[in-house]
Structure formats: C-alpha cells, structure tokens
Structure 1
Amino acid sequence: MHITSLGGGHGLYQTLVAARLSAPDSITAVVTVADDGGSSGRLRREMDIIPPGDLRMALAALAGDDDEGRFWARTLQHRFGGSGALAGHAVGNLLIAAFKEVLGDEQSALDKIAELTRSHGRVVPMCNQPLEIEAEVAGLDDDPRLIRPVRGQVAVATTPGTVRRVKLIPDRPEACGLAVAAIRDADLVTLGPGSWFSSVIPHLLIPGIVEALNSTEALKVVVLNLSAELGETQGFSSERHIHMLSQHAPSLRVDHILVDSHTIPTSAERSYLQRAAGGLGADVVFEDLRRQDSDGRSLNKHDPSKLSAALMSLHRSAREGKASD
C-alpha cells in the first residue's frame, strides 16, 4: 500500500506518524512551501530557497525507529538559542539549505537527509518555488463589510479578522511533478489536518494538484481539525471548514471527511456537516480520534494510533468494495 499525505506543520506531522503506524510499502509527504516566518522566513529571504520548516518537520516525522533515526529526528528539530546570528534557526532548516547548495537542488537535499535519517518515506514540496499567501480578511475595520488584503502566512494565521478567501502569489503555480506522481500512484491520499488557510487549502490552489486528486484511483480522505484555530479560523464551524474547501476548489472530489466523533455530538450538526460534504462528493465518517493524557482527559490533538486505525479501516472497506464489484 502507498500513502500520500498532503499538508504542512504540526498537522502533517501527526498524519505522517499515523501513516507510519499503518506500515505501508511507501509514504510520500507533499508539503506546503509558503511559510514566511521565523527561521524559514529568514532563509527564504536570504538564500532564495523554498521555506524549509514544514519540509523539516515532515522529515523528522518520518525518521527511522532505531537509535540513529531518533537521534536525527531530535537533531533536525533542535533550535539554537541565544541572541546571535543562529538564534532561532532549526538545525534541519540549515541542513536543507546547506545540502541544497552542495547538491544543487532542494529535492536532492531532502532525499539526502531522508537517507541519513533512515526515513520511512519521501518528502517532496507541493511546488518547486517559494509561494506567498494573501488573504481577503473582514473585520479589521469599524465597518465589518470592508475587506482588506493580508499577505504572508504568519500574518494570515494570526489575523484578528475573519478570513474570507486566500490566494497564492504567484497565482496558479506549477505543481511539483513528484507530488503529482505521488498522488496519482497512491492507494490512499490524505489532506489535513492543519492550519486550514495556510497548510491545507494552499494545495488546492495549485491546478496540477487538484487535477491529480481528481484523476487518482486512490481513496481520498480529508481529516478535519479537532477545533477552530485562534486567528485564521476562529469561530468557524466544522461545516464551514468543508465549505472553504469547496469554495477554493469547486471541482475537487474526495471520498470521505474523517471527523472526531466527540467534536460534533448532535445529530443536527452531523446532518449539516454531511450536507456540506456532499458538495465534495464525500461522506462523513465519525471516529474517536483524540489523544488522551495519562488521566484520561481528552486533548486537542489527534492520536496517531487512532487516526491510523480509522484510515486503515476506510482503506480496507474501499478495497473490499472494489473486490465485490
């Protein structure tokens, strides 16, 4: 079985850990490249490279299970302290930048780090050029009807206003060929969870990615966030999250929306969510997906083991359905 997971940041990290637990034949992480903050932002401005932060996190999530792999995972994520030129930089970001200069391109750098970390999969960018996100945001003025443009991933993720729509700059960029191939050749494709406007929807603003999603024979599963995020989706219902996918990619079709069963407890809310999912040609599947602490209290994080089990159950059902046909 071949799994391809689309996203970025902490959401993609959790999905990749879940994918590893499923023990597939291969895993490919397709990663957003619009980060403009912190270490990634500094490196993309100074060295004219695609921002490495989300790529680094995916590499860390896929690092090997032995002592050597765990060492590399910790090293990639390590950040320098202090107040000097290296302060705030993650080691993995610097390695990607350095290997890119030595080897000539970012993909060679990512593949070399995957080799060093004994990776369980391959990490590829969704696009081979750095991108910017610009959002149309309401609520930044006294008149709530006024829409203001907000540019930059960090600015969009932390805006106190309400995001109405986002776009990429440059518009309609070319998809990475490796990303397109990984989607088309997969048996299971996941999108989300993660920052909705800065890690999930950007994939759907690249025509080649949407075309690959619609043409693949893979089972396609959107993993919904456990809650709205402060900033870009504050106040959003689960139903609105799905509407945002349809709004930004009207032609997109997926098979399932995977939702934590405790997030939407009432039948009325579930029926609204199912109606919204119908716009994507999908049905909604409810499963217990939350992580619990040692005292049994639910946390606002996906449990990789539960997520893995839910994804594998959907994949088995799809496979059995095809066999019976």
Structure 2
Amino acid sequence: MAHREAADEAGEGRDRSGPRVTALGGGHGLYASLSALRRLTPDIDAVVTVADDGGSSGRLRQQFGVLPPGDLRMALSALCDDSEWGHLWQRAMQHRFEGLPEGPQELHGHAMGNLIILALWQMLEDPIEGLEWAGRLLKVHGRVLPMALDPLVITGRAMYPNGTSRSIAGQARLAKAPRVEDVSLLPEAPRPCPESVESIRSAEWVILGPGSWFTSVVPHLLVPANREALLASQARICVTMNLGLEQHETAGLGAAGHLETLERYAPGLRVDVVIADPEAIDCHAEFEAAAARYGARVHWRPVRAEGSADVHDPELLAAAYREVMCGPAAGPHVEPPEPSV
C-alpha cells in the first residue's frame, strides 16, 4: 500500500478544516509544539530529527542499526487521539521499563514505544510504513516523518569559558556542552525522506522551534534536500523561541543570535513571524530589529507553563499559533528592507 494511501486510510482521509502545518524539530521542544498545534488543526506533519544517540534510542540504534526511535515516539505521543484509547496508548508509548536491581537489565530504561516502533520497522522493513502503522495504533492526528532515512551524527565545537574549545560528536554529548558553534552532520548528505521534503514544499505554515537549538532545530537546515525545500517553499515560516535561551549549547548566544544562527546555516531563509514570550527576552527593541532583518514581525505572548522555567504551556502556545495563523501575521511575507548605504 502506498504511504500516502495508508496515511489517509488511517485517518479516514486528511481533515482539511485547518491550516496545513509542517513542524520541524525533535524531543521535548517538538512535543510542546505539536501538543499546541493539534488544538488548532488536524492537518499536521511532524518532521523529526534522527540524530539521538543517548538512552534507549542510542542503545537500539547501536544494536539494530535503525533510526533512533525516541524523538519519533515523542512526536507520535503528542498527536495521540484525545480519547480514552488515545490517552492510554500515549501513556503506554511513553512508559519506561524498570528492572529489578539484581535482575537482567536488557529492558531497563527502554521506552515501550521505542520497542513497538522497532518491531514494526523489522516486520515491515520500511521506516515510513512502520511509523504510519504506529500512528494507526495511536489514532494520531497528522503524520510523523523522519528528517532523513539515515541515522545521523551531529558534530560541533564546544566553546569553554576559559577560551578553549574542542570538537564533540554525538547529540547527547553536544546537547550538554557549553556554547556550541560550527555544527555539521555525518553523513553530510543523508538520504532524504521524500515524504518530508514534499511536506515542507506543500505546507501552508512551517514551524521551526522550540527545542535544543543546535541539536534539534538547526539540524533540519543541514539536510540538503530539506533545506532546499524550505528555501523554495511558499509556506509562511514561524520561528517559536525557547523560554530558556542561555542553557548549555546556546549559552551566550542571545535571543538575536538564535535568529542569526538560522540564517547562517540556511542563507536566504525568510521568516514571517517569531513567537516569543516577553519575559524570556531582555531587550525587546533589539530583538524586533533582528527579526525585521528577515522580514519577520515578533508576536509577543506569554506561553510559559505555570511553575516552570522553560516549558511551554500547550494551551497558551496554541493561542499564540492561532493568533499568528489567523490574524494579521497570516498575510503575505514581507521582504526585509534593503540595507542602508
């Protein structure tokens, strides 16, 4: 069965009652974005990073030579049906096995959803079809697609406060490093996922962020086919800023530096709107000026979950997306002004 036909049958046809959105990211950041977007539209494609090499995903990747399933599992869980069935399977997919300290540890720490995805991949010998069948089980609203068809390794240079630097390979290690620069992927030109490329090209809105900037967001700009699709797409582009801007890999980068980083890895990238929590960014005028250089406007809105320093509230973030996609920012892209001579 063709992939698109399987996806349509699983959802009894794609519901076109909302904007067609493609969200790029990985991990908890993409989970937050999808949890918000599903309140706005059922027509969502999640394009997910495949460079995780830690925890359960890293073990399965190393043992079976598959794409790391963890971030894909997180995205599927975020899009579960809002029903008793969906809620149960969401919990089941996220469940982690805990073995007795004195017993065998083969399953300890593995997420059940990772093992389900692995089983489907081995049975069907097709990662896209396997994810579609996992989506059927969870009755997800939308699709979950890998960023590429090859497991990727992220490399970068960590800049230490004492002025020294060193190269680091691996998503898990890089995510905990201090200020990161010069990020790249191995292989440099991985096999693209045709469904992901087409999703980016045909979207009405593309969402970048939130998430670990150099290990979940920027990698999407490093896959040549995806970057070219993003630059050629007629979709409006929304960047969702993180709430904690000075953590680990982005220490010292600054809010404006986050936007500059995107343009550095995808020259010519246009951005239409940036969603930012006013409490997360110190100098609003400077940040608005940085966004304007890409033709974007800043949509200021509180999106922080109560009692949390850096977690987005899905209802508040959904309201921000609704305002952006249905309000004035949903209009045509505005080209950045010509530089003054």
Global fold match (TM > 0.5): yes
2:212 & 2:63 partners in 1: Cα distance?
A: 26
Q: What's the secondary structure of 2:238's corresponding residue?
A: strand
Pair 321,288 (structure 1): closer, same or farther in 2 beyond 3 Å = same
Q: What is the deviation of 1:299? A: 4.1
Secondary structure, counterpart of 1:284 in structure 2: strand
Deviation at 1:320, TM superposition (A): 6.8
Q: Is the 8 A contact 1:3 1:28 kept in 2?
A: yes
In structure 2, relative to structure 1, the CA distance for the partners of 1:19 and 1:320 (3 Å cut) is: closer
Q: Which residue of 1 aligns with 2:301?
A: 287
Kept in 1: contact 2:270–2:294 (CA 8 A): yes
Equivalent residue, structure 2, for 1:97: 118
* Structure 2 residue 73 is matched with structure 1 residue 73: no
Structure-1 residue corresponding to 2:336: none
How far is 1:314 from its partner?
1.4
| Partner Cα separation in structure 1 for residue 236 and residue 320 of structure 2 | 13
| Contact 1:64/1:117 (8 A) holds in 2 | yes
Correspondent of 2:184 among 161, 164, 167: 167
Which residue among 291, 296, 300 is the counterpart of 2:310? 300
Give me the whole-angstrom Cα distance separating, in 1, the residues matched to 2:210 and 2:246.
11
Q: Which residue identity does 2:217 align to in structure 1?
A: V
- CA distance, structure 2, for counterparts of residue 34 and residue 281 of structure 1: 31
Contact 1:165 1:248 in 2 (8 A): no
Change (3 A) 1:307 1:40: same
The answer on whether the counterparts of 2:245 and 2:280 sit within 8 Å (CA) in structure 1 is no
After superposing the two structures, state which structure 1 stretch, 126-135 or 310-319, moved more.
310-319
Q: 1:178 to 1:309 in 2, by over 3 A?
A: same
Partner of 2:223: 206
Write the distance in 1 (CA, Å) between the matches of 2:329 and 2:278. Answer: 24
Q: Does 1:115 align with 2:115?
A: no
The reply on whether 1:151 has 2:172 as its aligned counterpart is: no
CA distance in 2, matches of 1:167, 1:283: 29
Q: Counterpart of 2:7?
A: none
Q: Which runs of 5+ in 2 are unaligned?
A: 1-18, 333-341
Contact map agreement 1:219 1:318 (CA 8 A) in 2: no
2:244–2:309: 8 Å Cα contact kept in structure 1? no
Q: Report whether the alignment pairs 1:8 with 2:26.
A: yes
3-state SS in 2 of match to 1:14: helix
Of stretches 224-233 and 98-107 in structure 1, the one that deviates more from structure 2 is 224-233
- Secondary structure of the 2:184 match is strand
Say which SS state the counterpart of residue 21 (structure 1) adopts: coil
* 1:185-223 CA-partner distances (Å, limit 9, x unpaired): 222211100011110000011122222222222221000
2:211 is paired with a residue of what secondary structure? Answer: coil
Note the C-alpha offset of 1:100.
Answer: 0.3
- Superposed CA deviations along residues 269-304 of structure 1, whole A, max 9, x for unmatched, are 2222123223433222211111224xxxx6421111
Structure 2: how far apart are the matches of 1:318 and 1:217? Answer: 18
Q: Percent identity?
A: 44
Q: Given that residues 44 and 141 in structure 2 are in contact (C-alpha distance below 8 angstroms), is that contact kept between their aligned partners in structure 1?
A: yes
Instruction: Report the number of matched residues.
Output: 310
Report the equivalent of 1:313.
Answer: 323
Q: Is the 8 A contact 1:174 1:207 kept in 2?
A: no
Of 111-120 and 168-177, deviating more is 168-177
Distance (whole Å) between structure 1 residues aligned to residue 227 and residue 48 of structure 2: 14
Q: Distance in 1 between matches of 2:160 and 2:83?
A: 50
Q: 1:275 aligns with which of 265, 285, 289?
A: 289
- Unpaired runs of 5+ residues, structure 1, are none
- Which structure is higher in strand share? 1
Q: Following TM superposition, by how much is the alpha carbon of 1:319 offset from its aligned partner in structure 2, in angstroms?
A: 8.1
Distance 2:329 2:256 in 1: 28
Partner deviation per Cα, 1:2-48 (whole Å, 9 max, x = no partner): 111110001100110111111x2411100000000000001111101
Aligned twin of 2:236 = 219
Instruction: Please tell me the residue identity of whatever aligns with 1:282.
Output: A
* C-alpha distance 320-245 of structure 1, shift in aligned 2 (>3 A): closer
Contact 2:209 2:241 in 1 (8 A): yes
Contact 2:157 2:182 in 1 (8 A): yes
Amino acid at match of 1:277: A
- In the TM superposition, residue 318 of structure 1 has moved relative to its aligned partner by 5.2
Once the two structures are TM-superposed, the CA of residue 50 in structure 1 deviates from its matched residue by 0.6
Instruction: Please show how residues 15-30 of structure 1 align to structure 2 within 5 Å.
Output: 15-22=33-40, 24-30=41-47
